[in-house]
Amino acid sequence: MAKAAKTAQKKDPKQAAEAKNWTKVIKAVRSPKSGAYTFKEQIVHKDKVKDFLAQK
């Protein structure tokens, strides 16, 4: 039988519910100088994802 992890702690249900409202968004951005792609990543609220992807 497996041992329980010592680092396992009870999480606050309110914090766990709030954490589900955030997401990590990764956007490929092309460099105008070299033409290579770089990646811009940010953690944003789920309601602001379209705004993040629409910005240049």
Top pLDDT among 39 and 17 is at 39
Structural domain contains residue 45: yes
Structural domain contains residue 1: no
**DSSP category for residue 32:** T
Whose structure tokens read 């041992």? 3
Indicate the helix (H) or strand (E) that contains 25: strand 22-30
Structural domain contains residue 2: no
45: containing domain: 19-54
Top pLDDT among 35 and 18 is at 35
Type of residue at 22: W
- Give 36's pLDDT tier (boundaries 50, 70, 90): very high
Whose structure tokens read 């951005």? 29
At residue 46, the pLDDT reads 94
Residue pair 25/45 in contact by the 8 Å Cβ criterion: no
Structural domain contains residue 33: yes
Q: Above 80 in pLDDT, residue 55?
A: yes
Q: What percent of the chain has pLDDT over 70?
A: 82
Residue pair 27/52 in contact by the 8 Å Cβ criterion: yes
Say how many domains are in the chain.
1
Structural domain contains residue 11: no
